[in-house]
Amino acid sequence: MSLGTGEFRVGRGRLVVAVALLDGERRVLASRRTSPPAYAGMWEFPGGKVEPGEDELAALARECREELDVQIEVGPRLGQVELASPGWRLRVWIGRIRSGMPRAVEGGELRWLSAAELDDVSWLPADRPLVDDLRRRLLDPEPFAFPAP
């Protein structure tokens, strides 16, 4: 259940957070999984699990530091998906890199994808429902709203 402060109480399920990181050319960073075997080779938005008592946006920043070695800025939420495991859900935001050059710290591969290239990779089932909405947003000429620095 959401506590209103961005914190998610861990009960029967878990909250997973991810970010569609955009560059100046309106491309999104995708990360290729190396494990578990059922998902190895599939692509996802970078992120990970929110730890008990951790704020979801703090978890997202932590995951990007750990997985990509970057500091991020979070913008609007892209969406939320219920996952296959009961009570598990995925929340994804649109973001951009504030500092650092992304690198695949845990192995795997990174790739910048334009709106036209989003279907060139095999997305994780959890991320796939958000790809069409992301494509529409990437093609929209309006700038993305990010908080003032």
Q: Where are the domains of the chain?
A: 15-138
The pLDDT score that the predictor gives to residue 95 is 97
pLDDT value of position 10: 44
Distances (CA, A) of 123 to 43, 55, 130, 147: 5, 26, 10, 29
CATH of domain 15-138: 3.90.79.10
How much is the pLDDT for 4?
37
Residues in the chain, total: 149
> Closest Cα partner for 93 from 54, 139, 147?
147
Q: How far is CA 105 from CA 1, 6, 34, 73, 110, in A?
A: 32, 27, 12, 19, 10
> What pLDDT is attached to residue 78?
96
Q: What is the pLDDT of residue 7?
A: 42
Indicate the pTM of the whole model: 0.86
Residues of the chain with pLDDT under 70: 1-12, 148-149
Tokens of 143: 């700038």
Instruction: Check residue 149 and give its pLDDT.
Output: 62
Burial level of 136, CB count in 10 A (0-12/13-18/19+)?
exposed
How many whole angstroms separate alpha carbon 142 and alpha carbon 125?
28
